[in-house]
Chains A and B, each alone.
Chain A
Amino acid sequence: MNDAQIQRLRKQYPDPLSAVMPALRIAQEQNGGWLSPDTIREVADALELTPAYCLSIASFYDQYRLEPVGRRVVEVCTNVPCALAGAQQVVEAFERELEVTAGSTREDGEYTLGTIECLGGCGWATVVAIDNRHRLRVTADDVPGIVKELRGA
């Protein structure tokens, strides 16, 4: 993360402390999708905060990850509206196709599969977030095609 970037973030806010969330997001993106202890230290340094403080923030929010993730991250919404539409079957299909159990990362580091709380797409169930991009109305039948696409990419 370069200094100019950080300083720009800080300047957006009346109190530079507000920059901690965007700074963590950028740091995570630049560090392969997760916040390693060293990454947290760097953010802390740049913002003149303690690493502990940054951890207290990072660990509060689900989107900051404190463990390594796969190259591609697949998350299936399993809240009520999606579940009524068959999100369970979508998860199972991904488990089969990606050969990884929900809630973990494949050993070769290719894929992380997770279930997630409501993504705000209940009318377009089931919603699947792939690297934070949402796919709507996904059914179990769509999954092999999606995985094929992921493999290709």
Chain B
Amino acid sequence: MSELLSVTVDDRQVEVPKGTGLVEAAQAAGIEIPVFCYEPRLGPPVGACRMCLVEIEGMPKLQAGCTLTVADGMAIKTSATSAKAAEGQEATLEFILVNHPLDCPVCDKGGECPLQDLTFRYGPGNTRMSFSKLTFDKPIPVSPLIALDRERCILCYRCTRFSEDVAEDGQLIARNRGAHTEIATFEDEPYRSPFSGNVVELCPVGALTSTLYRFDARPWEIQNVPTVCTGCAVGCNTSATIREGKVKRILSRNHPEIDRGWLCDKGRFSYPHLRAEDRITSPLRRGRKGLEATSWDEALDEAETMLRESRGSIVTAFSGSETIEIAYALGRLLRGGLDAHSAVLPEATSDALEAFRMPLSAIGEAGLVVVVGDDPVVERAPIVDLWIKEARRRDAEIVVYSPTGSETTAPGAGAEICRELASGKSRVANALRGAERAVLVWSGPGGGGGARIAELAHALGFADKPGCGAFHLPAASNPRGVALAWAVAADADETNPEPIELLIVSGDDAASNPDVRALAELANRVLVVTMFHELAGGWADLILPATAALERDGTSMNLEGRVQRLRRAVPPPCPDELAWISKLAARFDVGLAPHAMGVFAEVGEHLFKDLTPEDLGPHAPLPARHAYVAPEPATTPAPVEDGVEGLRLHRYRPLFSGPAVERVPELGFQRPDRDVELSVADAEARGIANGDVVLVSSNGTSAELRARVNRKLVAGVARIADEHAGDLHPSVQVVKA
């Protein structure tokens, strides 16, 4: 506990810990010091806007309250008791309004605008400015997602500080100097950063607005529904803004341990997929002339028949983004009612990690972060990337073992690295062993990553070090929750049905997964639950419409192992999964509640004994660590054959991919370019320069891509985003086209 200091704010005395800022100290006294530029999440205060001027006893000049921390006995006077401070704040607002257009009636921010509010409270009654204001023609497209109305900008530099000091993307900048200063990007290039949307929320005026939300709603006509993002396994806390039954935008709901109020653009901007053109709202059945619409009653009859005829020989392919309740309900129906115990998930997960649990925010305070795995953290769990950056800014050492990391490794080397670190000869291994605050992260596919990183943490003795922990970044948002719910739905071992009579494909991610498609080739019949026609139109025998996460009530377990509550932001355009699963289940004498909280009560009995939905609260708590249970040992992966002169194809799944992202044209520019990344050595050996068009080929298939020489990439591989790698085989030739 740090030392308490006593300070007076206006007429009130408060005690606050040493190091507390004046703004927070005043808050503790129930007094507002108004701010614009001050935002502690952006780093140290900059004192730019001068909104926070206060008088401090013993100091002749007004002080920018945001830049100071308390001293014992300090007497602070805000505008409430100091005429000088009041004059200072009025002066600042007058200067701010000199160039501000006051177009509040047509501004998206109107009604929820700090400038509007503070002007009302502290501002001058009228304007003394008689010269023409700066105006600009039209909103400038900072990107397809963000518009900039320059004349509204008050130059608080929140947006540029976010870009430079939080996302560290170096894209959104202040250009020029003095009165000519303006927010800009380079040339006309879009602000391309996985986190760009945060600047819209940070902007205290209507200068940066979301193109998807512009002119769509006014603050007094909307409702905000608190829910949780399922774009990845971080589980950021969000608010969905609803108007007339439609989701209009997604805002952050700041869970300080998880997301600190940041969202990635996938989570923030992919909601328009709810209204995608190929969205399915009623069941479809394969008839003589292909897929035909059918009624729910007929569809359920059909499903019942399929299930009865396939009894036992059913495989369920999960997306890993289902709610715990959906997974449990499917488990009860299929396992309890039909003895169908076989399921596939996109990636293995591991419960062993529960022994090394910690909040994500602990990464920001770590002294050493070691990342293992093929994928950049940002592609799998973007907010984790921000926490790691935060740690680095606080002088933590960050070591990344990956094909593009600080320690370059060949793809697929993660398990081996973990073994090496555990046996402890290298400098990093020693540092890990000695560290009081160290975090391990597995960021990549395959290799049973969760288990491997847990074994390493165990070998390092992390279970007994509260400052040390380990995370696995899975490819889906709720794979642990799904696996656990499926596991407790019945008590029997998994079987491997051969042949597969029926493949049940649960959700869009499963439906778009090539491995699942391959499985479908082996199955007699396929039942697909999906939102989008395009995903299953060609190969499903029966399609049942799915709901989106924003249309679901239920729970989800994030990568920390924290169970969080999803709330239905808008009603789905069709009966939801739990509604029809419970009906089907009844036909097999399995009783299931048709709503999430009913199912939660049942599944919670098995999984979360002491947890009620209320405990999940607005901000769910992190469960305590469990004792370590050794995971299944590693199976040696089949060695990848290297081509004689070829390069190894290194596919990766970019953050901006998947069925939802693909359905939002405005997100298109965030998706990876048609690039193949090559190491400097491999490019030079082939006479390839950055930007050259090259032909990547293997066994008869080929793709024309643009070469990007990546100085960080390990030699011997060709790195290509999944969506551009098509059917290429693991060994490829790359030549200049």
Q: List 19 A-B contacts (CB under 8 A).
A: A37-B186, A37-B187, A49-B170, A50-B186, A51-B189, A52-B170, A52-B171, A52-B172, A52-B184, A52-B186, A53-B164, A53-B170, A53-B173, A55-B173, A55-B175, A55-B186, A56-B160, A59-B177, A60-B177
A52–B188 alpha-carbon span in the complex (Å):
10
Closest to B172 in A: A52
Chain B nearest Cβ from A66, distance in angstroms: 9
List A contacts of B185 (CB < 8 A). 52
A15–B177 alpha-carbon span in the complex (Å):
24
Given contacts A37-B186, A53-B164, A55-B175, 5 further A-B contacts (CB under 8 A): A50-B169, A50-B171, A52-B184, A53-B170, A59-B176
List A contacts of B186 (CB < 8 A). 37, 40, 50-52, 55
- Interface positions, chain A 12-50, Cβ under 8 Å from B, are 37, 40, 49-50
Chain B nearest Cβ from A34, distance in angstroms: 15
List B contacts of A40 (CB < 8 A). 186
A52–B177 alpha-carbon span in the complex (Å):
15
Chain B nearest Cβ from A96, distance in angstroms: 30
Assess the B177–A56 pair: CB atoms within 8 A.
no
A55–B176 alpha-carbon span in the complex (Å):
9
Chain A nearest Cβ from B711, distance in angstroms: 8
Chain A nearest Cβ from B336, distance in angstroms: 56
Chain A nearest Cβ from B184, distance in angstroms: 8
A50–B170 alpha-carbon span in the complex (Å):
6
List A contacts of B172 (CB < 8 A). 52
On chain A, the number of residues with a Cβ less than 8 Å from chain B's Cβ atoms is: 12
List B contacts of A50 (CB < 8 A). 169-171, 186
Chain A nearest Cβ from B198, distance in angstroms: 17
- Interface positions, chain B 380-403, Cβ under 8 Å from A, are none
Chain B nearest Cβ from A146, distance in angstroms: 30
List A contacts of B735 (CB < 8 A). none
List A contacts of B174 (CB < 8 A). 56
Of all A-B residue pairs in the complex, the 8 with the closest CB atoms, nearest first, are: A50-B170, A56-B173, A52-B186, A51-B186, A53-B170, A59-B175, A52-B173, A59-B176
List B contacts of A51 (CB < 8 A). 186-187, 189
A53–B165 alpha-carbon span in the complex (Å):
12
Closest to B169 in A: A50
Chain A nearest Cβ from B434, distance in angstroms: 27
Closest to A54 in B: B186
List B contacts of A61 (CB < 8 A). 177
On chain B, the number of residues with a Cβ less than 8 Å from chain A's Cβ atoms is: 16
Specify which of B160, B169, B170, B174 lies most central, judged by the most chain A CB atoms within 10 Å of its CB. B170
Closest to A49 in B: B170
A93–B164 alpha-carbon span in the complex (Å):
46
Chain A nearest Cβ from B164, distance in angstroms: 8
A46–B631 alpha-carbon span in the complex (Å):
47
Closest to A53 in B: B170
Chain B nearest Cβ from A47, distance in angstroms: 11
List B contacts of A37 (CB < 8 A). 186-187
Chain B nearest Cβ from A118, distance in angstroms: 16
State the main secondary structure of chain A at its contact with B.
helix
Closest to B182 in A: A59
Chain B nearest Cβ from A57, distance in angstroms: 9
B positions within 8 Å CB-CB of A? 160, 164, 169-177, 184-187, 189
Chain B nearest Cβ from A152, distance in angstroms: 37
List B contacts of A56 (CB < 8 A). 160, 173-175
A49–B170 alpha-carbon span in the complex (Å):
8
List B contacts of A59 (CB < 8 A). 175-177
A61–B175 alpha-carbon span in the complex (Å):
10
Closest to A62 in B: B177
Assess the B176–A60 pair: CB atoms within 8 A.
yes
A55–B172 alpha-carbon span in the complex (Å):
11
Chain B nearest Cβ from A39, distance in angstroms: 12
Closest to A41 in B: B186
Chain B nearest Cβ from A53, distance in angstroms: 4
A50–B173 alpha-carbon span in the complex (Å):
10
A141–B172 alpha-carbon span in the complex (Å):
49
- Interface positions, chain A 81-125, Cβ under 8 Å from B, are none
Chain A nearest Cβ from B186, distance in angstroms: 4
Closest to A55 in B: B186
A61–B169 alpha-carbon span in the complex (Å):
23
Closest to A56 in B: B173
List A contacts of B164 (CB < 8 A). 53
Chain A nearest Cβ from B34, distance in angstroms: 28
Chain A nearest Cβ from B469, distance in angstroms: 31
Chain A nearest Cβ from B87, distance in angstroms: 32
A25–B204 alpha-carbon span in the complex (Å):
36
Chain A nearest Cβ from B720, distance in angstroms: 23
Closest to B178 in A: A60
Chain A nearest Cβ from B610, distance in angstroms: 49
Chain A nearest Cβ from B155, distance in angstroms: 13
List B contacts of A49 (CB < 8 A). 170
Chain B nearest Cβ from A18, distance in angstroms: 16
A25–B461 alpha-carbon span in the complex (Å):
53
A61–B176 alpha-carbon span in the complex (Å):
8
Chain B nearest Cβ from A54, distance in angstroms: 8
A60–B184 alpha-carbon span in the complex (Å):
13
List A contacts of B170 (CB < 8 A). 49-50, 52-53
Chain B nearest Cβ from A40, distance in angstroms: 8
Chain A nearest Cβ from B331, distance in angstroms: 49
Chain B nearest Cβ from A79, distance in angstroms: 16
Chain A nearest Cβ from B622, distance in angstroms: 36
A37–B175 alpha-carbon span in the complex (Å):
14
List B contacts of A60 (CB < 8 A). 176-177
Chain A nearest Cβ from B606, distance in angstroms: 51
A97–B160 alpha-carbon span in the complex (Å):
45
A52–B164 alpha-carbon span in the complex (Å):
11
Closest to B177 in A: A60
List A contacts of B187 (CB < 8 A). 37, 51
Chain A nearest Cβ from B35, distance in angstroms: 24
List B contacts of A52 (CB < 8 A). 170-173, 184-186, 189
List B contacts of A53 (CB < 8 A). 164, 170, 173
A99–B172 alpha-carbon span in the complex (Å):
40
A60–B185 alpha-carbon span in the complex (Å):
14
Chain B nearest Cβ from A13, distance in angstroms: 19
List A contacts of B176 (CB < 8 A). 59-60
Closest to A58 in B: B175
List A contacts of B175 (CB < 8 A). 55-56, 59
List A contacts of B184 (CB < 8 A). 52, 55
Chain B nearest Cβ from A11, distance in angstroms: 19
Specify which of B171, B173, B174 lies most central, judged by the most chain A CB atoms within 10 Å of its CB. B173
A81–B300 alpha-carbon span in the complex (Å):
91
List B contacts of A55 (CB < 8 A). 173, 175, 184, 186
Chain A nearest Cβ from B524, distance in angstroms: 54
Chain A nearest Cβ from B405, distance in angstroms: 16
A56–B189 alpha-carbon span in the complex (Å):
14
Chain A nearest Cβ from B46, distance in angstroms: 15
List A contacts of B173 (CB < 8 A). 52-53, 55-56
Closest to A48 in B: B711
Closest to A61 in B: B177
List A contacts of B169 (CB < 8 A). 50
A60–B170 alpha-carbon span in the complex (Å):
16
Closest to B191 in A: A52
Closest to B170 in A: A50
A149–B535 alpha-carbon span in the complex (Å):
75
List A contacts of B160 (CB < 8 A). 56
List A contacts of B177 (CB < 8 A). 59-61
A30–B185 alpha-carbon span in the complex (Å):
25
